[in-house]
Amino acid sequence: MVKEDKRELNRDLSSHQMQMIALGGTIGVGLFMGSASTIKWTGVSVILAYALAGLVLYLVMRALGEMLYVDPAVGSFANYATKYIHPLAGYLTVWANVFQWITVGISETIAVGLYMNYWFPELPNWITGIVVLVTLTLANMTTVKAYGNMESWFSMIKVITIVLMIILGMMVIVLGFGNGWKPVGFSNLWSHGPFFAGGFKGFMFALAIVMTSYQGIEIIGITAGETQNPKHAIVAAIRSIVARILIFYIGAIFVIITIYPWNQLDQVGSPFVETFSRVGITAAAGIINFVMLTAAMSALNSGIFSSSRMIYTLALNKELSPKFLKLSKHRVPTLPVLAISTGILLGIILNAVLPFFWQGSSSIFVLVYSASTLPGMVPWFVILWSQIKFRKENKHHMSEHPFKMPLSPYTNYFSILMLLITLVYMVINPDTRIPLLIGLGFLIVMSVIFLITHKQHSRK
């Protein structure tokens, strides 16, 4: 690790900002559009899928929290992978994170253009995408506090919308508000087929997609290196964030499938829009469109922050040029931020230009976005694996450690097994097979590059 003070990032993020950043990275556009595919595959048991995936999420975050409490470093879980598993694991973790967030960033900037078309149908998508990208890049290059403030507001808009939707939805269900004061009741939970509508295979297909919907929460491990009083902030953030995410996801899905028959959701459009419209909020479509716009900007904002810190970590580990270690006067890694934004910009340009030369180009971006699923799981695997060895090598910290991973290493093995099972079913499912293989191909290519250049890196 580099110990020079000039290479230390500022610790300007508060515990609240840390939590909101994690929410911003996890609660995305997919929830607002409705989890149509997962509900279609498994019916009402989708609630169980979200709960089971949430348990794995909780265990991953507890494993991360145990290590962060002792060593809250920048690029934390990549450093843990290098130290406790192998340098290749750390290298892959960094590049998997960069790949994940660049592909997500490209998709989100494209999405921003589509949402803006709701108000400005003649405005080209690429113009909107570039304006948003430049704005968020500048925010990330000023101070980490400015980034934290912006992400807090983005996340707050999403959280308020979800909470309102749950409250209004429960009023429709229990009181009949917006339904002529005739309670909808809970009969939709059992009136349209068995609990596991698609059998075990359908449930596992849904679980695989649900598992990926939680990706991004591990960004807490990246913010730890720039957080005030990191030990207190880490414990507070992890204790509250998992519970909040589970309440938001499970609560929203529960309301949706209780109000609307799960087998007719494809006719509903966005359940959020329909729920707000039902209780007399006539501007519901515009409101939800605005929320989805901020959700896309939030994901892009988190992606620039997260992946730029990972590039900084590569430079710290001498895997990239030391030029990437240079910090601005506000202690922000300027070149990594610009590198990530440039990658996203190239994707925006490619998306605008390709349709003129290739009619089938639009589907490629869907595949690339989906291909981030496997790289997005890499941090979870390395966190669970690293913590087992971390516990063995840091026994002296464990006696008074207030935030230990419960029932380790058995909970680690359980979580790793669940992640492996979901990957197997993603291979079986034709809808997710190709994106998974694209992600696997990327990891193989990066492994080969590492093995070829490793001796070069070690001599630097």
Blockwise average pLDDT, block size 10, the chain, 460 residues:
50 68 67 69 91 91 89 75 91 90 83 84 88 90 79 84 89 89 91 89 88 79 68 78 83 89 77 80 84 84 85 84 86 90 88 70 59 87 94 87 90 96 89 86 93 67
DSSP string, 222-258: HHGGGBSSHHHHHHHHHHHHHHHHHHHHHHHHHHHHH
**Quick one: which of 162, 389, 116 has its CA closest to 276?**
162
Tokens of 247: 């309440």
Count of structural domains, the chain: 1
The answer to whether residue 8 sits within a structural domain is no
Q: Is 6 part of a structural domain of the chain?
A: no
Least Cα distance to 137 among 347, 297, 301, 324 occurs for 301
Three-state secondary structure call for residue 168: helix
Q: What is the pLDDT of residue 75?
A: 55
- Tell whether 128 is covered by a domain: yes
Q: What angle do CA 169, 173, 179 make, to 5 degrees?
A: 90
- For residue 7, what pLDDT is reported? 55
Distance CA 351, CA 124 (A): 12
Is 7 a member of any domain?
no
Tell me whether residue 2 is in a domain. no
Structural contact between residues 336 and 102, judged by C-beta atoms closer than 8 angstroms = no
The reported pLDDT for the residue numbered 209 is 81
Residue 244's domain spans which residues?
A: 13-459
CATH number at residue 147: 1.20.1740.10
Tokens 């790793």 locate to: 416
DSSP reduced 3-state for 35: coil
Is residue 3 a part of any domain in this protein?
no
Residue 397: Cβ-neighbour burial (10 angstroms; 0-12, 13-18, 19+) = middle
Residue 5 falls inside a structural domain: no
Residue 13, helix vs strand vs coil: strand
Assigned domain for 82 exists: yes
pLDDT given at position 3: 43
User: Any residues with CB less than 8 A from the CB of 118 and at least 6 apart, and which?
Assistant: 285, 286, 289
